[in-house]
């Protein structure tokens, strides 16, 4: 189904398997039969090898092998009969999302990303009152104090410390003078080994107390009569010292990953850190660095916003787009039985669980994708940045980076499949 020719000319390579979009990787073709990425993190090497060496795949309809035309015909039939289709997953690139929007508009579907919960913890804060954020480049080159909220940023984004927080050099300021404060239950996990021990302070705090800790810090920074020892599990003296550090810093950066902050109403916790940054900017300079973008959530939301005027969780069932971040959550639409056909798109991971549902399920996924229960239709698609070129927004949403093609493949892209599907729907109409 695909050729074994690997591309050698495209150097360096951008990795599509994390929101950092590291663009300093190379392709090792010493063994033409098993090309692999050189450099990067373990996740990049593992995922790219898996994608580059995956076996051939075929379209399936009701578990039987069929051709692409047959699979597209069944998908078109289902979508044309549907009164409330749902396009979810949406782990794809810019062109794939543009095609998904066109299809949603053509068949009256609702759109939501598989990582929508984490995405909207940040978006709801932005919509409510805005925020002051920085880019990966600015954080790398200007920060003199990094406040890391939670314990998973460096595991969700494996090269975060190396590429952004503690790089070998910076354009402005001395990295050797940069200080780091880690907030969270660090007794349960290892502190990143590439952070300098002599300039790293750990403030031990239960995860369910991070929101309270942020509020207390705001009071201390503002000079209000706040009790530094108000949280029994947190060292009050450390909090007082941290408040003074934040006030004295020339460029403090507060970092978190919304995927980790998964408590109920976590957007209120994120709002606390956003407002802390706003408070600091009254007397000094500070910025937030919310981390996201893995599996294309930032990319799909950017495309949805610039083309429709609304973020994800927008429905096209009525005249014009209808945005509702609560009612259009895909898990709830399925639970309330308000969708009658699910088109799930996952061209990146292939390992995220497809929602278990009784409604017809159509999947566009990686060729090595496995299922607990075969869907009604499965169409294998290429991985952006591996089997076809594309564009993807990194975690800071500052710019789209180009993704190259590392291997010739007959696997179609998400954009190609959805484009053909839309043509069939229009022909039927």
Beta strands in 294-388 (DSSP E): 314-315, 322-323, 341-346, 361-366, 377-381
Work out the mean pLDDT of the chain and round it to a whole number.
92
Dihedrals phi, psi of 10, to nearest 5 degrees: -80, 100
Residue 273: predicted pLDDT: 97
For residue 42, give the nearest of 55, 30, 25 by alpha carbon.
25
Among 2, 55, 5, 71, CA closest to 410: 2
The answer to whether the beta carbons of residues 289 and 108 sit under 8 Å apart is no
Q: Which residues, including other chains, have CB under 8 Å from residue 2's CB and lie 6 or more apart?
A: 56, 387, 407, 408, 409, 410, 411
∠ at Cα 176 (173, 179), nearest 5°? 90
User: Which stretch of 152-156, 230-234, 339-343 has the lowest confidence by average pLDDT?
Assistant: 230-234
Q: In the structure encoding, which two tokens stand for residue 404, read together?
A: 């190259």
pLDDT tens readout for residues 224-258: 988 888 898 899 999 999 999 999 999 999 999 99
pLDDT value at 275 more than 70:
yes
Which pLDDT does position 5 carry in this prediction? 42
Fold of 59-116+295-428: Rossmann fold (3.40.50)
> 37-64 pLDDT, tens per residue?
888 899 999 998 888 887 678 999 999 9
Phi, psi of 288 (to 5 degrees): -95, 150
Residue 342 vs residue 189, higher pLDDT: 342
Distance between CA atoms of residues 196 and 246, nearest Å? 19
Give the pLDDT confidence score for residue 9 in this predicted structure: 47
Average of pLDDT values for 147-169? 95
Which pLDDT score, from 0 to 100, does residue 258 have?
A: 95
The reported pLDDT for the residue numbered 36 is 80
DSSP string, 139-193: HHHH-SEEEEESS-HHHHSTTHIIIIIS-S--SSS-GGG-EEEEEE-GGGSPPPT
**pTM of structure:** 0.93
The phi, psi pair for 251, rounded to 5°, reads -155, 90
pLDDT in tens, 351-394: 778 999 999 999 999 998 888 888 999 999 999 999 999 999 99
What pLDDT does 408 receive? 84
Q: Which CATH superfamily is domain 133-280 in?
A: Dimethylsulfoxide Reductase, domain 2 (3.40.228.10)
Report how far apart, in Å, the C-alpha atoms of 116 and of each of 74, 90, 111, 237, 292 are: 28, 10, 10, 38, 11
The predicted-structure confidence for 162-173, as pLDDT tens digits, reads as follows: 999 999 999 988
Q: Are 5 and 26 in contact (CB under 8 A)?
A: no
The pLDDT value given to residue 10? 56
Q: What angle do CA 158, 164, 165 make, to 5 degrees?
A: 90
Q: Which of 75, 87, 109 is nearest to 423 (CA)?
A: 75
Q: What's the pLDDT band for 119 if we cut at 50, 70, 90?
A: very high
In this prediction, residue 67 carries a pLDDT of 96
Least confident residue range of 33-47, 104-118, 178-192, 383-397: 33-47
129-146: average pLDDT: 96
Domain spans in the chain, listed from the N-terminal domain onward: 59-116+295-428, 133-280
Give tens-digit pLDDT for 4-17.
344 444 568 999 99
| Rounded mean pLDDT, 100-116 | 96
- Can you say whether residue 51 is alpha, beta or left, with left for phi > 0 and alpha for psi between -120 and 50 degrees? alpha
Across the range 311-320, mean pLDDT stands at: 92
Q: In this structure, are residues 87 and 334 in contact, taking their beta carbons and an 8 Å threshold?
A: no
Distance CA 92, CA 98 (A): 10
């Amino acid at each position: 189904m695909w050729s074994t020719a690997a591309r050698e000319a495209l150097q360096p390579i951008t990795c599509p398997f994390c929101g950092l979009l590291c663009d300093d990787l190379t392709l090792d073709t010493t063994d033409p039969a098993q090309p692999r990425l050189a450099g990067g993190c373990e996740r990049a090497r593992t995922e790219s090898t898996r994608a580059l060496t995956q076996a051939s795949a075929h379209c399936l309809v009701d578990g039987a092998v069929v051709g692409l035309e047959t699979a597209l015909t069944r998908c078109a039939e289902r979508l044309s009969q549907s009164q409330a289709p749902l396009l979810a997953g949406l782990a794809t690139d810019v062109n794939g999302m543009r095609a998904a929007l066109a299809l949603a508009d053509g068949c009256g579907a609702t759109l939501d990303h598989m990582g929508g919960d984490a995405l909207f913890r940040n978006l709801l804060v932005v919509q409510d009152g805005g925020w002051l954020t920085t880019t990966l480049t600015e954080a790398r080159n200007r920060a003199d104090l990094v406040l890391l909220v939670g314990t998973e940023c460096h595991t969700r984004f494996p090269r975060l410390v190396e590429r952004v927080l503690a790089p070998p050099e910076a354009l402005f300021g001395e990295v050797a003078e940069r200080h780091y404060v880690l907030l969270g239950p660090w007794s349960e996990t290892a502190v990143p080994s590439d952070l300098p021990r002599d300039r790293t302070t750990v403030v031990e705090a239960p995860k369910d107390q991070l929101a309270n800790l942020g509020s207390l810090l705001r009071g201390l920074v503002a000079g209000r009569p706040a009790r530094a020892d108000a949280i029994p599990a947190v060292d009050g003296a450390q909090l007082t010292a941290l408040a003074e550090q934040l006030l004295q810093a020339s460029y403090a950066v507060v970092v978190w990953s919304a995927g980790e902050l998964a408590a109920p109403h976590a957007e209120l916790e994120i709002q606390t850190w956003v407002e802390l940054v706003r408070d600091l900017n009254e007397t000094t300079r500070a910025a937030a660095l919310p981390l996201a973008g893995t599996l294309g959530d930032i990319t799909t939301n950017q495309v949805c916003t610039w083309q429709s005027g609304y973020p994800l969780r927008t429905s096209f069932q009525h005249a014009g787009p209808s945005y509702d971040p609560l009612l259009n959550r895909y898990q709830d639409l399925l639970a309330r039985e308000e969708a009658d056909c699910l088109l799930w798109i996952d061209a990146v991971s292939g390992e995220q669980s497809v929602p278990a549902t009784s409604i017809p399920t159509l999947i566009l996924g990686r060729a090595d994708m496995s299922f607990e229960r075969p869907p009604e239709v499965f169409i294998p698609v290429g991985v952006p940045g591996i089997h076809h070129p594309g564009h993807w927004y990194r975690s800071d949403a500052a710019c789209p980076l180009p993704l190259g093609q590392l291997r010739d493949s007959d696997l179609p892209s998400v954009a190609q499949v959805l484009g053909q599907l839309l043509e069939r729907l229009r022909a039927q109409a």
